[in-house]
Amino acid sequence: MSVERAAFITLHACPLAAPGQGKSGGMNVYVRQLAAALGEMGMKIDIFTREHLDVVNRVETIGPNVRVIHLKAGEPDAHLGDLYALLPDFLEQLNDFREEEGLEYDVVHSHYWLSAWVGRELSQAINVPHVVTFHTLSLIKMQSRAGEIEQTERPVVEAEVMATAGRIIAFSPHERDAMARLYGADARKVSLVPCGVDLEVFRPLNQKSVRSRLGLNGEKILLYVGRVEPIKGLDLLVETAAQMDSAEGVRMMVVGADVNGDREMDRVKQLAKERDMEDKIDFVGQVDHDDLALYYNAADVCVVPSYYESFGLVALESMACGTPVVATRVGGLSTIIQHGRTGYLKSWRCPEAFANSVEMIISSDGLQQSMGEAARKRAEGMGWDNVASLMWDEYSVLTEHPAKDDNKY
Ligand code: UDP
């Protein structure tokens, strides 16, 4: 059976929400771009998400063959922690919509544990395979940073869905191993399909002209891009600059908004003050996704100091723009970045080591350029069309050769 129509479930991450603020980030980008690329290739995709405060149209077509459908379940501004109780409502709304429109899907692909619960129920009800991408996993997250607290239901649902899904998508070998080790997942059901990057939007531009567009002078720029929250480890960026032999002529830019009021932003600002770095750091706030290429191109190095990153789209976007990355060796980052070739991976969140790597790059135009070229080359193999082809193959294998055991869905 060929795959013609897929249902994507992304209950809390609407692909229309602007990334880099609130809870909107890499997952929103991933769902939108993957669906768009599959849609361009001819697959019909319905993306089901929960109605939220910014909804304009309940059903919105966002590209060839791709629709976003907002379903009402609970109050539009319900807190993430309250969504678990709303899952049966969401499922009911989804089934009503499907029946009203007489829709039949060949595969269900769900994103994140909440949606995975819905995806499992839906796939079993309509008897089609269930593919799941967890994006982040609670047990890895809790191990990565003390203080991360997750809902008690989350690891239970994650383990249950891993046991029943037809296919689990992992972004890196690290994530696949953790699924087997921490959740007892059958590694044979786990496929490695990376995230992708839009190679047209994220491409090398003339650094001099983008800097003048952004009103920057000749300082060396260390860039951070992402939501501002503790797990992103922004303190390490400040400590890195403080540990450099000379922070003279260096500027840090932080692009992205705080997830929780200004709590983490204030903490980072306070640290910058204590390290005498407050004049060296600009908090730019959220930037439109399509304008980010200007910032990556203006930067000399992109720093990704996260405690945990299941993939780390920001690193790949930076590389696609030809800007080397210095990052912690966690999760998907160690798959994307080639240490010593496209940037540096640091095993420990150690400011001296980060500072040393950043200084190596910014003190040598030759190294910066050759790493930038290698980075772009590496990213070129990870365009969304390549990723979508891999994903289409995953769907096809499942629908054409369903497993013989009871766990096929
Ligand atoms: N992003 C954006 N504008 C901002 C900050 C971030 O569009 O101001 C986007 C960024 O381009 C990337 C995503 O948000 O695509 C962040 O993804 P990542 O996987 O790095 O982190 P996550 O948000 O998933 O934790």
Q: How confident is the model at residue 406 (pLDDT cuts 50, 70, 90)?
A: very low
Q: Is 32 exposed, middle or buried (0-12, 13-18, 19+ CB in 10 A)?
A: buried
Ligand 1 atom 10 nearest Cα: 314
Q: What is the CATH number of the domain that holds 175?
A: 3.40.50.2000
Residue 296 lies in a domain: yes
Residue 260 lies in a domain: yes
Domain count, the chain: 2
Give this prediction's pTM: 0.95
Continuous segment of H or E residues that includes residue 362: helix 351-362
Q: Which residue has the tokens 């891993």?
A: 162
Q: Could you tell me if 27 and 125 lie in one domain?
A: yes
d(CA 143, CA 112): 18
Compute the distance from residue 320 Cα to the ligand 1 centre, in Å: 14
Residue 201 lies in a domain: no
Q: Could you tell me if 226 and 184 lie in one domain?
A: no
Compute the distance from residue 315 Cα to the ligand 1 centre, in Å: 10
Residue 405 lies in a domain: no
Residue 285 confidence (pLDDT): 95
Residue 407 lies in a domain: no
Residue 408 lies in a domain: no
Q: Could you tell me if 248 and 367 lie in one domain?
A: yes
For ligand 1, is residue 225 a contact (CB within 6 Å)? yes
Residue 387 lies in a domain: yes
Ligand 1 atom 5 nearest Cα: 20
130-133, strands of its sheet edge to edge: 59-63, 66-71, 44-50, 5-9, 107-111, 130-133, 167-170, 190-192
Q: Could you tell me if 18 and 114 lie in one domain?
A: yes
Q: Could you tell me if 29 and 174 lie in one domain?
A: yes
Q: Could you tell me if 271 and 354 lie in one domain?
A: yes
For ligand 1, is residue 259 a contact (CB within 6 Å)? no
Q: Could you tell me if 191 and 211 lie in one domain?
A: no
pLDDT exceeds 60 at position 394: yes
Q: How confident is the model at residue 409 (pLDDT cuts 50, 70, 90)?
A: very low
Mutate which of 14, 29, 198, 323 for ligand 1? The one with the most ligand atoms within 8 Å of its CB, which is 29
Q: Domain span at residue 315?
A: 207-380
Compute the distance from residue 29 Cα to the ligand 1 centre, in Å: 8
Q: Could you tell me if 218 and 160 lie in one domain?
A: no
d(CA 20, CA 171): 20
Per-residue model confidence as pLDDT tens digits over 272-289: 999 999 999 999 999 999
Residue 402 confidence (pLDDT): 61
What are the start-end ranges of the E strands in 334-402? 343-346
Range 171-196 burial, b when 16+ CB lie within 10 A, else e: bbebbbebbbebbebeeebbbebbbb
d(CA 311, CA 195): 7
Quick check: helix, strand or coil at residue 383? strand
Q: What value does the mean pLDDT take over residues 130-155?
A: 90
The four Cα atoms 275, 280, 286, 290 give a dihedral, to 10 degrees, of -140
Residue 278 lies in a domain: yes
Q: Could you tell me if 188 and 223 lie in one domain?
A: no
Q: Could you tell me if 81 and 94 lie in one domain?
A: yes
Q: Could you tell me if 48 and 123 lie in one domain?
A: yes
Q: Could you tell me if 267 and 395 lie in one domain?
A: no
Task: Give the list of residues 6+ apart from residue 340 with CB closer than 8 angstroms, or none.
Answer: none
